[in-house]
Chain A
């Protein structure tokens, strides 16, 4: 069964460093998302991406964040200068064309900022 994959599973970084989280969405999907879950809190939407551009972003997704689909398979989330409060699980998700189809989530990347 096709699935969303994410690498790395765990990333430890120093405050102020740049990190890139990688995702490979399901191959025939067209819509891509990043969510995050801070420990003990709910899953929060960060950004959606369609047709090589951001379609929607949350207030969390400030200028320190960017997303890119550098080739036909990868979807990346970059945090330019990490802060302690960026420590969280980051989930990538994708869905296919129909608006009401479910989003399929990857296993997540645990980001720890020291």
Chain B
């Protein structure tokens, strides 16, 4: 049951460049999407979110884009910094349908090298 998919298990980017992490979903009922960052031995840390009524949300170096017709979202990190090295999880929920559980993707390990 892979309703949320992150097809790239890893990504390596040079410091200062753009990191683009992708996420696809299959459930049309999802109406809220979130990105979490996770370091080893820690819990997921919220980064940024987007409602399905929007196609873009920006917060500092982080921008999330949503393409509902393609059921695709992406997280852009510009400029990438070594401290951004972590596992990034895409998550989705269907709050309008009386459920707020988060469905997570499998994660993408981002490595930012100097």
Please list the residues of chain A having a beta carbon within 8 angstroms of any beta carbon in chain B: 4, 6, 31, 33, 35, 41-45, 48, 56, 58, 91, 93, 95, 99-100, 102-108
List, sorted by A's number, 20 A–B pairs whose CB atoms are closer than 8 Å.
Answer: A4-B43, A33-B102, A42-B89, A43-B89, A43-B91, A43-B102, A43-B104, A45-B101, A45-B102, A45-B103, A48-B100, A56-B100, A56-B101, A58-B101, A93-B43, A99-B100, A102-B46, A104-B46, A105-B46, A108-B43
Residues of B within 8 A of A35 (CB): 102
Instruction: Give how many B residues have a beta carbon under 8 Å from the other chain's beta carbons.
Output: 23
B28 within 8 A of A: no
Chain B nearest CB, measured from A44 CB (Å) = 7
The residue among B43, B46, B89 with the most chain A CB atoms within 10 A of its own CB is B43
A42 & B107 in contact (Cβ 8 Å cutoff): yes
B43 & A105 in contact (Cβ 8 Å cutoff): yes
Query: Assuming A42-B106, A43-B89, A100-B95, is B51 touching A107 (CB within 8 A)?
Result: no
Residues of A within 8 A of B102 (CB): 33, 35, 43, 45, 103
Separation of A100 and B97 alpha carbons in the complex (Å): 12
**Contact pick for B43, options A42, A99, A106, CB 8 Å:** A106
Residues of B within 8 A of A31 (CB): 100
**Contact pick for B49, options A43, A44, A100, CB 8 Å:** A100
Chain B nearest CB, measured from A82 CB (Å) = 21
Q: Per-residue 0/1 for B77-112: is the Cβ within 8 Å of any A Cβ (1 yes, 0 no)?
A: 000000000000101000100011111111100000
Separation of A14 and B102 alpha carbons in the complex (Å): 30
Given A35-B102, A45-B102, A105-B46, 12 more A-B residue pairs with CB atoms under 8 Å apart are A31-B100, A43-B89, A43-B102, A56-B101, A93-B43, A99-B100, A100-B32, A102-B34, A105-B45, A106-B43, A108-B41, A108-B42
- B52's nearest neighbour on chain A, judged by CB, is A100
B44 within 8 A of A: yes
B100 & A107 in contact (Cβ 8 Å cutoff): no
